[in-house]
Protein backbone atom coordinates (compact mmCIF):
# COMPACT_ATOMS: atom_id res chain seq x y z
CA UNK A 1 0.00 0.00 0.00
CA UNK A 2 1.45 3.32 -1.11
CA UNK A 3 0.43 6.82 0.01
CA UNK A 4 1.77 10.08 1.44
CA UNK A 5 0.88 11.79 4.73
CA UNK A 6 1.20 15.58 4.82
CA UNK A 7 1.20 18.16 7.61
CA UNK A 8 1.64 21.94 7.70
CA UNK A 9 2.48 24.29 10.54
CA UNK A 10 1.68 27.97 10.00
CA UNK A 11 3.21 31.19 11.31
CA UNK A 12 -0.09 33.07 11.64
CA UNK A 13 -3.84 32.39 11.42
CA UNK A 14 -3.56 33.25 7.70
CA UNK A 15 -3.60 29.98 5.75
CA UNK A 16 -0.91 31.19 3.32
CA UNK A 17 1.72 31.41 6.07
CA UNK A 18 3.30 27.93 6.16
CA UNK A 19 6.48 27.82 8.23
CA UNK A 20 6.99 24.06 8.12
CA UNK A 21 5.87 21.18 5.89
CA UNK A 22 6.32 17.49 6.55
CA UNK A 23 5.58 14.61 4.20
CA UNK A 24 5.82 10.95 5.21
CA UNK A 25 6.27 8.60 2.26
CA UNK A 26 4.68 5.15 2.63
CA UNK A 27 5.67 2.42 0.19
CA UNK A 28 4.64 -1.19 0.53
CA UNK A 29 2.80 -0.48 3.77
CA UNK A 30 5.88 0.95 5.54
CA UNK A 31 6.99 4.54 6.21
CA UNK A 32 10.13 4.64 4.07
CA UNK A 33 11.06 8.32 4.39
CA UNK A 34 9.97 11.51 6.13
CA UNK A 35 10.80 14.80 4.43
CA UNK A 36 10.68 18.06 6.35
CA UNK A 37 11.01 21.63 5.11
CA UNK A 38 11.28 24.74 7.25
CA UNK A 39 9.83 27.66 5.28
CA UNK A 40 10.34 31.41 5.58
CA UNK A 41 6.72 32.62 5.35
CA UNK A 42 5.45 35.64 3.45
CA UNK A 43 4.79 37.56 6.65
CA UNK A 44 8.24 36.98 8.18
CA UNK A 45 9.38 38.06 10.69
CA UNK A 46 5.86 38.26 12.17
CA UNK A 47 4.70 35.07 13.89
CA UNK A 48 1.48 34.88 15.90
CA UNK A 49 2.26 34.21 19.58
CA UNK A 50 -0.57 31.65 19.58
CA UNK A 51 0.94 29.72 16.68
CA UNK A 52 4.38 29.80 18.28
CA UNK A 53 2.87 28.45 21.50
CA UNK A 54 1.45 25.51 19.55
CA UNK A 55 4.45 24.45 17.46
CA UNK A 56 7.43 26.24 19.00
CA UNK A 57 8.79 27.52 15.68
CA UNK A 58 10.06 31.10 15.94
CA UNK A 59 11.05 33.70 13.33
CA UNK A 60 14.74 33.10 13.97
CA UNK A 61 14.30 29.38 13.29
CA UNK A 62 13.32 30.09 9.67
CA UNK A 63 15.44 33.19 9.02
CA UNK A 64 17.73 31.21 6.72
CA UNK A 65 15.06 28.86 5.34
CA UNK A 66 13.86 29.01 1.72
CA UNK A 67 10.67 30.78 0.74
CA UNK A 68 7.75 28.70 -0.54
CA UNK A 69 8.75 29.20 -4.17
CA UNK A 70 12.17 27.77 -3.29
CA UNK A 71 10.78 24.39 -2.22
CA UNK A 72 7.65 24.09 -4.36
CA UNK A 73 9.22 22.35 -7.36
CA UNK A 74 10.54 19.59 -5.10
CA UNK A 75 7.29 19.31 -3.15
CA UNK A 76 5.15 19.25 -6.31
CA UNK A 77 7.22 16.35 -7.67
CA UNK A 78 6.61 14.38 -4.46
CA UNK A 79 2.83 15.02 -4.54
CA UNK A 80 2.30 14.41 -8.27
CA UNK A 81 -0.45 11.83 -8.90
CA UNK A 82 -0.24 10.43 -5.37
CA UNK A 83 -2.85 9.62 -2.73
CA UNK A 84 -2.32 12.03 0.17
CA UNK A 85 -3.74 11.98 3.69
CA UNK A 86 -3.79 14.71 6.33
CA UNK A 87 -5.28 14.72 9.81
CA UNK A 88 -7.96 17.40 9.56
CA UNK A 89 -7.31 17.69 5.84
CA UNK A 90 -9.53 20.77 5.51
CA UNK A 91 -6.84 22.79 7.32
CA UNK A 92 -3.81 21.44 5.48
CA UNK A 93 -5.42 21.62 2.06
CA UNK A 94 -6.55 25.19 2.70
CA UNK A 95 -2.93 26.07 3.52
CA UNK A 96 -1.78 24.50 0.26
CA UNK A 97 -4.52 26.12 -1.85
CA UNK A 98 -4.03 29.56 -0.31
CA UNK A 99 -0.24 29.44 -0.56
CA UNK A 100 -0.31 28.38 -4.20
CA UNK A 101 -2.81 31.15 -4.95
CA UNK A 102 -0.80 33.87 -3.19
CA UNK A 103 2.31 32.82 -5.11
CA UNK A 104 0.55 32.48 -8.46
CA UNK A 105 1.43 28.78 -8.76
CA UNK A 106 -0.70 26.15 -10.49
CA UNK A 107 -2.18 23.20 -8.66
CA UNK A 108 -0.53 19.79 -8.78
CA UNK A 109 -2.55 16.66 -9.49
CA UNK A 110 -3.30 14.33 -6.59
CA UNK A 111 -6.19 12.87 -4.60
CA UNK A 112 -6.52 13.21 -0.85
CA UNK A 113 -8.55 12.17 2.16
CA UNK A 114 -8.87 13.08 5.82
CA UNK A 115 -7.63 10.66 8.47
CA UNK A 116 -10.08 12.15 11.01
CA UNK A 117 -12.92 10.93 8.78
CA UNK A 118 -11.18 7.59 8.36
CA UNK A 119 -10.76 7.13 12.12
CA UNK A 120 -14.44 7.93 12.69
CA UNK A 121 -15.39 5.17 10.24
CA UNK A 122 -12.92 2.53 11.41
CA UNK A 123 -13.04 3.21 15.18
CA UNK A 124 -16.48 4.70 15.95
CA UNK A 125 -17.56 5.92 19.36
CA UNK A 126 -14.43 7.67 20.68
CA UNK A 127 -14.74 11.01 22.50
CA UNK A 128 -11.94 12.64 20.49
CA UNK A 129 -10.46 12.03 17.06
CA UNK A 130 -7.56 14.45 17.41
CA UNK A 131 -4.19 13.16 16.26
CA UNK A 132 -2.73 12.77 19.74
CA UNK A 133 -5.71 10.93 21.29
CA UNK A 134 -5.87 8.58 18.31
CA UNK A 135 -2.13 7.94 18.41
CA UNK A 136 -2.23 7.41 22.18
CA UNK A 137 -4.99 4.86 21.63
CA UNK A 138 -2.80 2.92 19.20
CA UNK A 139 0.53 3.29 20.94
CA UNK A 140 2.04 5.65 18.38
CA UNK A 141 4.56 7.92 20.10
CA UNK A 142 5.55 11.23 18.53
CA UNK A 143 6.34 14.89 19.19
CA UNK A 144 3.10 16.70 18.43
CA UNK A 145 2.86 19.86 16.29
CA UNK A 146 6.06 19.51 14.32
CA UNK A 147 5.24 18.83 10.70
CA UNK A 148 7.43 15.82 9.96
CA UNK A 149 6.48 14.13 13.23
CA UNK A 150 2.76 14.76 12.71
CA UNK A 151 2.96 13.50 9.13
CA UNK A 152 4.70 10.30 10.21
CA UNK A 153 2.20 9.76 13.05
CA UNK A 154 -0.69 10.26 10.61
CA UNK A 155 0.84 7.70 8.26
CA UNK A 156 1.20 5.17 11.08
CA UNK A 157 -2.40 5.78 12.14
CA UNK A 158 -3.62 5.09 8.59
CA UNK A 159 -1.55 1.90 8.51
CA UNK A 160 -3.28 0.76 11.73
CA UNK A 161 -6.62 1.43 10.03
CA UNK A 162 -5.53 -0.58 7.00
CA UNK A 163 -4.85 -3.52 9.32
CA UNK A 164 -8.55 -3.43 10.25
CA UNK A 165 -9.74 -3.49 6.61
CA UNK A 166 -7.01 -5.07 4.47
CA UNK A 167 -6.98 -4.02 0.83
CA UNK A 168 -4.44 -3.99 -1.98
CA UNK A 169 -5.69 -0.68 -3.37
CA UNK A 170 -5.94 2.57 -1.40
CA UNK A 171 -8.85 3.96 -3.40
CA UNK A 172 -10.84 0.76 -2.91
CA UNK A 173 -9.99 0.78 0.81
CA UNK A 174 -11.38 4.32 1.12
CA UNK A 175 -14.51 3.41 -0.84
CA UNK A 176 -15.07 0.33 1.34
CA UNK A 177 -14.64 2.45 4.48
CA UNK A 178 -17.00 5.09 3.01
CA UNK A 179 -14.36 7.82 3.31
CA UNK A 180 -14.84 10.64 0.81
CA UNK A 181 -11.97 11.58 -1.49
CA UNK A 182 -10.98 15.07 -2.60
CA UNK A 183 -8.62 16.11 -5.36
CA UNK A 184 -6.31 18.83 -6.62
CA UNK A 185 -5.91 19.30 -10.35
CA UNK A 186 -4.40 22.06 -12.52
CA UNK A 187 -7.72 23.88 -12.99
CA UNK A 188 -8.97 23.73 -9.43
CA UNK A 189 -9.90 21.64 -6.42
CA UNK A 190 -12.66 19.26 -5.33
CA UNK A 191 -13.35 18.85 -1.61
CA UNK A 192 -14.16 15.41 -0.19
CA UNK A 193 -17.75 16.68 0.03
CA UNK A 194 -17.79 17.21 -3.72
CA UNK A 195 -17.59 21.03 -3.82
CA UNK A 196 -15.61 22.29 -6.82
CA UNK A 197 -13.49 25.45 -6.69
CA UNK A 198 -11.43 26.96 -9.47
CA UNK A 199 -7.75 27.67 -8.98
CA UNK A 200 -7.13 31.37 -8.51
CATH number at residue 100: 3.30.420.10
For residues 61-72, average pLDDT: 98
In a domain, 22, yes or no: yes
In a domain, 52, yes or no: yes
In a domain, 59, yes or no: yes
In a domain, 9, yes or no: yes
In a domain, 200, yes or no: no
Closest CA to 115 of 95, 136, 92: 92
| pLDDT confidence of residue 59 | 98
In a domain, 130, yes or no: yes
In this prediction the pTM is: 0.95
Task: Give the list of residues 6+ apart from residue 122 with CB closer than 8 angstroms, or none.
Answer: 161, 164, 165, 177
In this predicted structure, the answer to whether residue 168 has a pLDDT above a threshold of 80 is: no
Closest CA to 135 of 100, 87, 175: 87
For residues 57-81, average pLDDT: 97
**Angle formed at CA 161 by CA 160 and CA 162, multiple of 5 degrees:** 90
In a domain, 15, yes or no: yes
Q: How confident is the model at residue 70 (pLDDT cuts 50, 70, 90)?
A: very high
| Distance from C-alpha of 184 to C-alpha of 190, rounded to nearest angstrom | 7
| pLDDT confidence of residue 135 | 95
Question: What is the total count of domains within the chain?
Answer: 1
| pLDDT confidence of residue 197 | 81
For residues 9-31, average pLDDT: 97
Lowest mean pLDDT among 3-12, 81-90, 171-180: 171-180
Residue 162: which domain range? 3-195
pLDDT over 90 for what percent of the chain?
84
| pLDDT confidence of residue 200 | 67
Does residue 199 or residue 200 have the better pLDDT? 199
In this predicted structure, the answer to whether residue 57 has a pLDDT above a threshold of 90 is: yes
| pLDDT confidence of residue 194 | 81
In a domain, 67, yes or no: yes
Residue-averaged pLDDT of the chain? 94
| pLDDT confidence of residue 83 | 96
Amino acid sequence: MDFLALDFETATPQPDSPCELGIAIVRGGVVREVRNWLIKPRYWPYFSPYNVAVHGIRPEDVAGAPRWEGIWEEVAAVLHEQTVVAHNAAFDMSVLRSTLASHGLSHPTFQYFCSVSLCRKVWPGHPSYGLKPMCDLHGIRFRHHRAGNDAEATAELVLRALDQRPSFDMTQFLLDAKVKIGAFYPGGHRTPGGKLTAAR
